[in-house]
Amino acid sequence: MLKALLLENLHPQARSILEAAGFEVTTRTGALDESELVEALDGVHVLGIRSKTHVTAAALESATDLVAIGAYCIGTNQIDLGTAASHGIATFNAPFSNTRSVVEIAIADIISLTRRQTELDKAMHDGVWNKSAIGAHEVRGRTLGIIGYGNIGTQLSVLAENLGMSVVFYDTAEKLALGNARRLDSLDELLDVADVVTLHVDGRSGNAGLFGAKQFARMRPGALFLNLSRGFVVDYAALRDAVVAGHVAGAAVDVFPVEPKRKGDAFDSELRGLPNVILTPHTGGSTEEAQDAIGQFVSNKLRDYLATGSTTLSVNLPNLALDQPPGAHRLAYLHRNVPGVLAAVNATLAEHGVNIEGQLLATRGELGYVVTDAGSAVDQAVVDALRSRPESVRLRVLS
C-alpha cells in the first residue's frame, strides 16, 4: 500500500482524497526539522507540507521510497527542487487556490492602515476616546504600487481599481496590464509615485534583500508598506527605522525571515509594538475556503501522478498528460535529456514484442519524461532493461 505523510495541519480534504485513492495516510500538525524528516520519510511515498518544513537535499537523498511531494501553498523555495528532480520525485504546489484570500487581506490591510484603525483600536482598548480625522484617509484616489504582477498582483490590481485607487506596477517580466493599471519601467519610478507599496514577488533567491533602507528612503513621505510575499525579501530593521522616523506611516507584514514551526511557539520581531503596524502569522492564504481548495488541488495532483503519471503543473519535472485507454499498460520513464532515449525505449519494447498504443515525450532542462501505453503486459525483462540504461532516473510501471 502506498503511504503518505501530511505535515503542518493540512485541510482534511487533503487526507480524504488520498485515502479514497487507497493511500495509507499519516498526519502531523507541526513542521519537522531535517533529522526528524529523515526519520519520518522511511517507507513514505508521498509527502505533503506547507511552508515551514524544509525538504533538504539530505532528506531527499535518504528518502528512497519517496515518489512525490505536495506543497500545499504557493511557494516551493522550502524544497530542494533540483535534488528532488534528480531523484525522480515530482513536486506539485497550489499556484492559484489561495490567490483571492491573499488579495482580500491585502485590501483589508490597506484600508485599515489608511484609516489608522490599529492605533484607534488600541486607544479604545486602553480606555481612551480619541476621535480625530488627522492622518485618516480614503483609499479612493490614492495610488497603489504593486511590485510583482503575477496571479496575486493582477487580481489585487483589479479590486483596488474597483475601490477607486490608481494602480501602477513593476515586474521584471513582461506582463499585460489589466484595467487602467500602468506598468512602470523601474522600481524607483514606482516608489516615487505610490501612496501604498505592496510586495507580491516569488521566492527565488534573487529576490533576497530586494527591499531595504534605500527603497524605504525612496518611498513618498507618509506612504504605507505591505509585504505578503516572502520574509527574506525585506530588511525589517530598515522598515522599523522608517516607521519610527515617521517616513513610512504604517505597514502590514505577514511573512518573516524566520518563522516559528508550530502554532503557539514564541515569536519575536523588531516590528513588534510599533504604531500603525499590522503583524499577522503568515495567514495571507489561510482562509477555510482557500485551504479547502488547496487540499483538493494538490492532493488531486498527487493522486493523478501516482495513478497515471500525469505531471501537469509539476514545478520540477517535464509537464505532460496522456489519456489512458482502458486495458492499457503504462510505463512512465523519467530520464536524463540526452539524444536517442525515445528510440532506445521503443527498440527495447519492440525486441520483447510489446506493441505501443500511445506515447508522449516532454523535456525540461536536463530531464526528459516519456509515458508509453502498451497493448499488453510488460515483462520484467523490459523493466530491467530500461532501468539499467545509463540515462535512467526513475521508471514506474503504472498498470
Please compute the mean of the pLDDT values over residues 227-253 and round it to a whole number. Answer: 97
Catalytic residue among 104, 259, 357, 391: 259
Q: pTM to 2 decimals?
A: 0.84
Catalytic residue among 11, 115, 230, 335: 230
- First and final CA of the chain: distance in angstroms? 15
Domain identity same for 104 and 250: yes
Domain identity same for 384 and 359: yes
Q: How many domains is the chain partitioned into structurally? A: 3
Domain boundary among 223, 255, 279: 279
Assess whether 189 carries a catalytic annotation.
Answer: no
Domain identity same for 356 and 384: yes
In the 3-class helix/strand/coil scheme, how is 151-194 assigned residue by residue?
HHHHHHHHHHHHCCCEEEEECCCCCCCCCCCEECCCHHHHHHHC
The tens digit of pLDDT for each residue in 341-350 reads 999 999 999 9
Domain identity same for 150 and 161: yes
The tens digit of pLDDT for each residue in 59-110 reads 999 999 999 999 999 889 899 999 999 999 999 999 989 999 999 999 999 9
The tens digit of pLDDT for each residue in 364-393 reads 999 999 999 998 889 999 999 999 999 999
Assess whether 259 carries a catalytic annotation.
Answer: yes
Residue 273 exposed, middle or buried by CB count within 10 Å (0-12, 13-18, 19+): exposed
d(CA 290, CA 277): 25
Please compute the mean of the pLDDT values over residues 126-131 and round it to a whole number. Answer: 96
Is the model's pLDDT at 324 over the cut of 90? no
Domain identity same for 180 and 248: yes
Question: Which range of residues forms the domain containing residue 398?
Answer: 318-399
d(CA 124, CA 126): 5
Domain identity same for 394 and 305: no
Write the DSSP symbol of residue 143.
Answer: E
Domain boundary among 279, 300, 328: 279
Can you give the pLDDT at residue 316? 97
The tens digit of pLDDT for each residue in 172-217 reads 999 999 999 999 999 999 999 999 999 999 888 889 999 999 999 9
- pLDDT category at 328 given cuts 50, 70, 90 is confident
Assess whether 282 carries a catalytic annotation.
Answer: yes
Is the model's pLDDT at 278 over the cut of 90? yes
CATH number, domain with residue 328: 3.30.70.260
Can you give the pLDDT at residue 176? 93
CATH number, domain with residue 38: 3.40.50.720
Domain identity same for 272 and 345: no
Can you give the pLDDT at residue 399? 78
Is the model's pLDDT at 262 over the cut of 90? no
Domain identity same for 256 and 181: yes
Task: Return the closest-CA partner of residue 284 out of 208, 232, 239, 229.
Answer: 229
The tens digit of pLDDT for each residue in 45-63 reads 999 999 899 999 999 999 9
Can you give the pLDDT at residue 7? 97
Domain identity same for 240 and 356: no
Domain identity same for 267 and 292: no
Domain identity same for 123 and 89: no
Please compute the mean of the pLDDT values over residues 301-330 and round it to a whole number. Answer: 93
Catalytic residue among 50, 282, 330, 335: 282
- pLDDT category at 147 given cuts 50, 70, 90 is very high
Can you give the pLDDT at residue 261? 82
* Spatial CB neighbours of 206, under 8 Å, sequence gap ≥ 6: none
Domain identity same for 104 and 156: yes
